[in-house]
A = this chain, B = another copy of it.
Amino acid sequence: MRAADLSEIRKLDLFQSMDEDHFAALMKAAYFQTFPTGMQLITEGDMADFLFVVVEGCVELFAATNGREATMAMVKPVGTFILAAVLKDAVYLMSARTCAKSRVLMIPSQNVRNAFVKDDSFARAIVSELASCYRAVVRDHKDHKLRTAVERLANRLIKYHTCQGETGSLTLPYDKKTLASLLGMTPENLSRAFGTLKPYGVEVDGAKVTLSDIKSLTTLAKPNPLIDVRKA
């Protein structure tokens, strides 16, 4: 691994306050690789060999059963995935594929668990990350159990709008097929949901969305801080 990469990784929350020796040991065992778009990194059901850290690009977590497939989450820099499986030394519950050219750090599970035991600071960072992931899934689950598809879309648009600086317009971060699956609907329904939101000032042109009546959109969406995250 290059020195530049190392110092970059060292800055990540997960490793920042870690002991120097422990960090070096961890990195010695790790792989830092660049993957092209569309590369499947892990498959649900496989044993958790590595902890993954997305340093650049974007990774889609998805799951399938009985011929159906659903996008579970999108991991952006700097985020980890399948931390729980690594800690429990269990199988992955989700598959992962890159949805952009991505730089990914792969740390062998056993080394993560070793470092976890040896390095208290690392352990705390891991727990913080795991708790965050947990809360994110709970939010997502609430979103799905308590809202209709149109409401989920409306809230998602408000979220993107907020994150992108509240300029009155926003850019969808993923293609519509992926966004649809993430929101738990079919691509056809996403199209129609955008149509439903037209009277609320939502205008779509490709990946660009303009919100001309945020007040009425908000009235419809009823965003809830206990479901919709501020950051990211």
Contact = CB atoms under 8 A, between A and B. Distances in A.
Given A134-B133, A135-B90, A145 B226 contact: no
A91 to B, nearest CB: 7
Contacts of A132: 84, 88
Contacts of A134: 84, 130, 133-134, 137
Interface string A122-134: 0110111011111
Given A65-B224, A90-B135, A144 B146 contact: no
Contacts of A117: 120, 124
Contacts of A69: 146
B87 A128 contact: yes
Interface in A110-157: 116-117, 120, 123-124, 126-128, 130-135, 137-142, 144-147
Contacts of A184: 144-145
Contacts of A137: 134, 137-138, 141
A99 B222 CA distance: 29
A47 interface: no
A132 B83 CA distance: 11
B144 A88 contact: no
A78 interface: no
Interface residues of A, number: 49
A204 interface: no
A44 interface: yes
Nearest to A66: B222
A85 interface: yes
Contacts of A145: 63, 70, 72, 144, 184
A38 interface: no
A64 interface: yes
14 contacts: A44-B226, A45-B225, A65-B147, A65-B227, A69-B146, A84-B134, A84-B138, A87-B127, A87-B128, A90-B135, A133-B134, A137-B141, A140-B141, A145-B184
Interface of A: 44-45, 63-66, 68-70, 72, 83-85, 87-88, 90-91, 93-94, 116-117, 120, 123-124, 126-128, 130-135, 137-142, 144-147, 184, 222, 224-227
